[in-house]
Amino acid sequence: MKSQFLINVCLMSTFTACGLGNITSSEKTSVDDTTISDENQVPQDSGSSPDIPEEDTSESRDDETGFSDTGDETETEILTDFSQIGPHTVGTQERSTTVSGCSPMSYTTYSPEGVSDPVTVVLGHGFGRGAGTMTGWGEHLASWGVRVLLPTLCHYNILSGVDHELNGQNMIELADIEGSVQTIYGGHSAGGLAAIIAASQDPGAVGVFGLDATDTQDVPGVEDFIGREYAGDITHPAFGIVGEPSSCNGENNGLLLFGMMGDASVVKVTDADHCDFESPTDFVCEFSCEDAGAEFSDEEIHEVVKTLSTAAVVSLAGISTHGSLIWDEGLEDWVASGIVQELE
């Protein structure tokens, strides 16, 4: 990523920076709840995923996830449309805590109603961006049955210090503070890098996913290609979704990280720019990174990104076999249309 872009983003974005410190478990403290928002009823909608032959649901059974699975595995299934809001009402809480080199670190929890002991997703935002660009992901993923922790990562300030490794460590600490037993790490851009670092070191990790994830390159004061020191240690399943190469995603320099993992599935979404992986994005990203000459519309791109990302999380969490089936069998129509390219 070009250093000028990073400096522009940092100057245009306002966020709290935290000082660096040693990574010690003694710095963890109890969580302070600051505000609790009302739980919003999430409507269940029906949409269309890539065309799949109709299924016989005469002998279906429901579970607490809200999915119905047939007892006969030989029947062809209609795959769930994960671009739509899921079956669960989502409750949110604003919290803060102390982690290494950062006191306090603020974060939001998104919890699905009716799910006991859900798998936890720790979600990282991009460099100089802030958690506000990922709130849509928190709501959406939680509606499908996982608990999402969305922190404001402390160590993305070019003035006071950039430390991707400490951001990864903080993500692990947050999962531990929140009592997570099974954790999925994910993130956008440099948040995807922090997620890879965290997943490589946390014994409780069950998977990782990247949204146009990047590695370090040509950033003043930051070691190049830090992610390569960690990606090879990831042995659990991984999913990567990338857009068109540009200065904003380091010319897709995060792709190599997934290639170093033992079990990774990666696709490229044609015409997707770096901002298409935020939810919501803003003019700061669009001013620097938006692709104005795209063949596919934003709506088409966002449907694909949302479907594949949610399917990846549902698969990693073990919520439904539909998640892995989307990646294994549900890409055909998108590949034929040219909007998706399978890379791994």
Q: Which residues of 169-201 are buried (b: 16+ CB within 10 A; e: fewer)?
A: bbbbbbbebbebebbbbbbbbbbbbbbbbbbbb
From start to end of 193-283, where are the E strands?
Answer: 205-211, 238-242, 264-269
Task: Give pLDDT, residue 47.
Answer: 41
Task: Give pLDDT, residue 161.
Answer: 77
End-to-end CA distance of the chain: 23
- Residues (pLDDT < 50) of the chain are 1-31, 34-49, 51-63, 70-74
Task: Give pLDDT, residue 160.
Answer: 66
Alpha carbon 280 to its chain's center: 13
Can you state the angle between helices 322-329 and 298-317, rounded to 10 degrees?
130
pLDDT digits (tens, 9 = 90+) for 34-86: 443 444 443 444 344 454 444 444 344 344 555 555 444 446 678 999 999 99
Contacts of 307 (CB under 8 A, 6+ apart): 49, 81, 82, 83, 326
Task: Give pLDDT, residue 240.
Answer: 98
Per DSSP, what are the bridge partners of residue 92?
Answer: 110
SS3 of 134, please?
A: coil
Task: Give pLDDT, residue 326.
Answer: 97
